[in-house]
Structure 1
């Protein structure tokens, strides 16, 4: 494996690399330098998808017959190959998506850890004995794989998110068809090269690139795809769920977030400021768990704001491949324009701009999709920037009097993915844990921390109320089968 420029990424179908039925491609642009083409991504057809699904269906019977330990050995091989190529994969990610190289390496290392974790799942229990009312019978549960799983993933974590879906799907006996985001399909191809090198049986793991309107919709509608796992926007996620439900396929949706951090009067201010900046602005705010709303009690509001602005203004923005860069560009021109439009909306609706709010004008950054880290205050809960997911480096400061008011404001959105609080008061911690409508709550830590061995998912419109990662993943990728044996 090597870092190459401007190659065309092929589809991986039935154990081989295939060109699409049509020659149309999308150029994957380096967001740090719009003049650099990282590679070309095929705009595949429904016919390409059909071939991948057919291959996955042919392979599923033999794959599910393998022992969990045998399937785990394949995942261990992928983990070792990915680890060997961590620098190449990470550099490709940085060039294609824009996050800093240390973040890209960390994400790739996380992919390695996820593969090893699920490889171990092959030797863990998948059922339990249940007493029968018949003394001469044996009753127990086991689990059956869904069959063929369609995996639709976003551009913001092009290694970790596909792997945390693919690895459990495979270890529990399913075959997979991956549709990565077009914006980061070059990176996804690097990951798929690791699976190819590991020697999986033909058809067990497949990848087809292409627009969501064609390949994504094709996965939703395909009659022989048994389950769909999706991460992306809530608008698209609802279409996935509706389409899957219409034909009786199982679906799993992880969607948006509008994640708050509450800073109480008794908080460690330096810790809270650092975590707010890290949680909200790292990866240019392009995380579903990124801190977006900063809810601060009034007694310490001014001190918190002063320290926050001082540190935000010191952040080094630039090309993620440069060692001194703390924050890279937005992932695409489209995403940059979305962020800028939300900033303008914040100004129009009466929020006060404290810092940032514009593109960079200096020549070093003019060719990239860079936006300044941005902080607003005087933000009201009904404002657009307090309600909608921006997916960019924008923080909205909201002043409250009491902890009760803080929790009301924190819950006053349609999303419920993650949330954090900074306090030393046990009562405040317990109230936050019990009353915060979010699938992930963190105490004295940033909102954007997710551990691979723990269940992950949201409440309200952030998810389909299922959970990913950890041992909870088995609930989606399998069905319980109850067995009754009478001698």
Structure 2
């Protein structure tokens, strides 16, 4: 029998009020149930929020170094469990073992980073215009915040929301994605082991409608941080705005890599290939468009096709090049976009099929896919696929490449492959994206610098990670001290 896991509210592991549950299955082998979780209700959300609000004052009054100590011990507890957490992530979400290990390590590093940042949370001192007076600012926690996290990075994203929220003195209620809640549960087991006071952080599992929506709309929630699709994020932001609570949403992407004639094609193929097919394309920063100069287009298409066809596909525990989709719905959506591309007149260069056979029959596997002869107005060039599908667009010059890169509703991550320094700098200046890279893949982020998008990729309010992550979770008070 699979283990049944409960919510974490008020420092206790508790069943939901209604008692309903749901199973989480291995996307590489759907016969395997990873665990059974609580299908919580709005009443469970109310209980968690009430508990968090009641403890917020005490937590805010806890010295920053002590909050940091708890975060540091959480990171160390997670480090001890790294191998276990890695295997759980692989079995639950489908990442390859190497990808999962990297993500778990990132979560460990995030807790360690914010443990130290909690020591220097403070304000600024300014010169006053009046004599015998001081003028300074201080940073205070927002209060109680709601966090809603996705399935595609099920430990890194909860970590980079939880750690700065707690470091800043907020109390928290978090709802992880139902496809992959185990990693957030492991974080909470580590927080508990580190001695986090009861009620400071609370975990409630369940659906978006039953848990996420009431969490975002609740009038005692002071801020909401969401990562997920643009459609859901827009609804979350609109709901949160009803009572003017602070909101931060990081959402979809349609990320380009521009390949110019000066590029080394082998390097360009590696950069695009890893960005497009790593994590099965299930990343908001995945490269879904290769915008290639006509002088190197044919050479690039031949090489990226060979790259895609060389990838080993299989269960993540075997550490292949690419694992399965997380669900049947995600797989079907990817296959549908391949059909849409062909119907719109694009050419299916390679891939585009569900993988079948003994190794694949129990899971949601798809071939890495390259689509060529793509025009920028086609849906395959405009809409987020969230699968291992690369659309290749031919352009005649740098200006057209930048225009095509910007010709979408999204603006999350973008890169260029070039040996021309002028092109590199012009691209950084002109591209409409929150992350711009030169001779690097669109995926992969440093934890100590801001992350976020432009246009429909973000609410364009506050960035995540680094000092920017703390900015969202704090309010600034200006103090006039006349002595």
Check whether TM > 0.5. Answer: yes
> What TM bracket, shorter-length normalisation?
over 0.9
Residue 446 of structure 2 is matched in structure 1 by 451
Which of 361, 381, 384 in structure 2 is aligned with 1:389? 384
Deviates more, 1:165-174 or 1:342-351: 342-351
Q: Aligned pair 1:405/2:386, yes or no?
A: no
Structure 2 unmatched ranges of 5 or more: none
Alignment-derived partner of residue 262 in structure 1: 258
Q: Secondary structure at the match of 1:274?
A: helix
Normalising by structure 1, we get a TM-score of 0.98
Within the candidate set 105, 112, 118, 2:108 is matched to: 112
Shifted more, 356-365 versus 150-159: the winner is 356-365
2:331 aligned partner: 336
Match of 1:374 in 2: 369
Q: Deviations over 1:83-135 (max 9, x none)?
A: 00011111111001000011111100000000010001112242111111102
Tell me which residue corresponds to 1:27. 23
| TM-score, reference length from structure 2 | 0.99
| Secondary structure of the corresponding residue to residue 184 of structure 1 | coil
Aligned length: 482
Please say if 1:158 is aligned against 2:179.
no
- Stretch moving more, 360-369 or 386-395: 360-369
Structure 2 residue 326 is matched with structure 1 residue 318 = no
CA-to-aligned-CA distance 1:303-335 (integer Å, 9 cap, x gap): 111111111101000000014x11000011111
Q: Is residue 275 of structure 1 aligned with residue 256 of structure 2?
A: no
CA distance in 2, matches of 1:146, 1:345: 45
Aligned pairs for 1:286-365 (under 5 A) are 286-323=282-319, 325-365=320-360
For the 8 Å contact 2:64–2:121, the answer to whether it is kept is: no
Residue in 2 aligned with 1:434?
429
SS of 1:36 mapped into structure 2? strand
2:432 corresponds to 1:460: no
How many angstroms apart in 2 are the aligned matches of 1:244 and 1:380? 38
Shift of the alpha carbon at 1:349? Answer: 0.8
Alpha-carbon distance in structure 1 between the residues aligned to 2:374 and 2:20: 45
* Cα distance in 2 for residues equivalent to 1:67 and 1:379: 56
Structure 1 counterpart of 2:185, from 158, 170, 189:
189
1:141 pairs, out of 132, 137, 140, with: 137
**Corresponding residue for residue 237 of structure 1:** 233
C-alpha separation in 2, matches of 1:17 and 1:279: 39
1:180 aligns with 2:176: yes
- For 1:121, which of 109, 117, 124 is the aligned residue? 117
Any conservation in 2 of the 1:89–1:191 contact (CA below 8 Å)?
no
Q: Distance in 2 between matches of 1:152 and 1:220?
A: 9
Shift of 1:187: 2.5
Query: Aligned-pair distance for 1:136?
Result: 1.5
CA distance in 2, matches of 1:9, 1:305: 48
Partner of 1:415: 410
Return 5+ residue gaps in structure 1 as ranges.
none
Corresponding position of 1:225: 221
Structure 1 vs Structure 2 CA RMSD: 0.9
| Separation in 1, partners of 2:130, 2:469 | 33
Mapped partners of 2:481, 2:162: distance in 1:
34
TM-fit CA distance, 1:474: 2.0
Correspondence for 1:74: 70
Equivalent pair of 2:121/2:139 in contact (CA under 8 Å): no
Distance 2:236 2:480 in 1: 36
* Separation in structure 2 between the aligned mates of residue 117 and residue 187 of structure 1, nearest angstrom: 19
| Partners of 2:121 and 2:168 within 8 A in 1 | no
Q: Deviations over 1:50-76 (max 9, x none)?
A: 111111111110100111111000000
2:248 alignment counterpart:
252
In the TM superposition, what is the alpha-carbon distance from 1:235 to its structure 2 partner?
A: 0.3
